[in-house]
Amino acid sequence: MSKLNSMFYSFYLFAGTFKNEAEAQEFTFEQWEPEPSPEASDSVYEAWEDRNPTWRLKQELGFYMDSDFVELATDPVYISSLIKNADEKSIFNKLSLSNYSHYIIVSTDSIYGDLRTTSNEEHIREPESTASLIFLGKFNNEM
């Protein structure tokens, strides 16, 4: 979901420390097992569908999410360029970012429901830090 710097959008920002890029991608993006062969029975295929995809980010955050609006980044300068509001950019630039290897940018449009509630209401809580991620805030709030 690479955005042009001239296009600003509202997003949540998380930071984490991963051993390498592969581990960060495995956490951040949906993971799929190989699809069963065409000869597989309907029950085998249905079981595969039930198990796939796995998505640790979605699981930890506890939201229904659209994976098309999630981006993995390593460059704080790039992230800063996505922030339109000068006050928010200042807040971001004051964060202690050296302890993290990767940043996960989640567009607010990505989150469309709360997995932790049975309510019919849409997004009813703000994201928070998890076992693997530190929540750094919401940026471009006015959008």
Determine, yes or no, domain membership for 48: yes
Range of the domain at 42: 11-139
Helical H runs in the chain?
21-28, 42-51, 56-61, 76-81, 86-94
Contact assessment for residue 32 and residue 56, using Cβ atoms and an 8 Å cutoff: no
The count of structural domains within the chain is 1
Residue 2 lies in a domain: no
Is there a domain that residue 112 lies in? yes
**Tens digit of pLDDT per residue, the chain (143 long)?**
444 444 789 999 999 999 999 999 999 999 999 999 999 999 998 999 989 999 999 999 999 899 999 999 999 999 999 999 999 999 999 988 888 999 999 999 898 888 887 766 665 788 999 999 999 999 998 75
Q: What is the pTM of this model?
A: 0.85
| 5 domain residue, yes or no | no
Inside any domain, residue 68: yes
Confirm whether 76 is domain-assigned. Answer: yes
Is residue 124 one of the residues assigned to a domain?
yes
- What pLDDT does 4 receive? 42
Residue 4 within a domain? no
